Amino acid sequence: MITLIAAAGENNELGKDNDLVWHLPDDFKRFKQLTTGHHIIMGRKTFESFPKPLPNRTHVVITRNTEYQREGAIVVHSLDEALLKASGDVQPFIIGGGEIYKMSMAVADRIELTRVHGTFDADAFFPEISLNDWELIKEIHHEKDDRHDYSFTYQTWMRK
């Protein structure tokens, strides 16, 4: 079960300058809860946006740079190689960025999307979710509050 997990604005915005453009503590908690104990597959820029590797997860980093090495990461050079490294995990998660999501849409079984209700200045985007290929099976809405500047909805999509 290959799962894409992302938070995206109304126009599929993911972030700008290799950073998120919102701060949603409950979404961070959900991300941690879902991904802990699993392989997380990401591009190099996403990996480098973390201050340090995320605890209790196996980091698989895709890069074109054949010289790239980082402590705390399994470095690979293609999505196929990343999926092979994560093949022992019943549910690896693909966590970004935009190019990695785009490459992964064809192989994913599920999408865990936090739809942030707002529009943002961004330079990275989540791919369009085709209603021909995907079915929305669950939604949980979260209102804006004193800890969250935006309302958002957790969406679970399954491949048809």
HSE-CB of 25 using CA atoms within 13 angstroms: 6
Domain ranges in the chain are 3-159
The pLDDT score that the predictor gives to residue 76 is: 98
Contacts of 145 by beta carbon, 8 Å cutoff, 6+ apart: none
Cα–Cα distance for residue pair 95/60, rounded to 1 Å: 10
3-state secondary structure of 29: helix
| Of 140, 150, 156, 154, residue with least CA distance to 24 | 150
Residue with tokens 């909805």: 153
Q: What is the pLDDT of residue 111?
A: 98
Q: Are 120 and 13 in contact (CB under 8 A)?
A: yes
Output the pLDDT for position 22: 95
Sheet holding 58-62, edge to edge: 73-76, 58-62, 39-43, 93-96, 3-8, 110-116, 152-159, 134-142
Question: CB-based burial of residue 17 (10 Å sphere; 0-12 exposed, 13-18 middle, 19+ buried)?
Answer: exposed
The mean pLDDT of 126-136, rounded to a whole number, is 97
Q: What percent of the chain has pLDDT over 90?
A: 98
How far from chain centre, in Å, is Cα 99?
11
Residue 51 CA to residue 2 CA, distance in Å, equals 26
pLDDT confidence of residue 160? 96
pLDDT tens for 53-94 read 999 999 999 999 999 999 999 999 999 999 999 999 999 999
Q: What is the pLDDT of residue 55?
A: 96
Q: Does domain 3-159 have CATH number 3.40.430.10?
A: yes
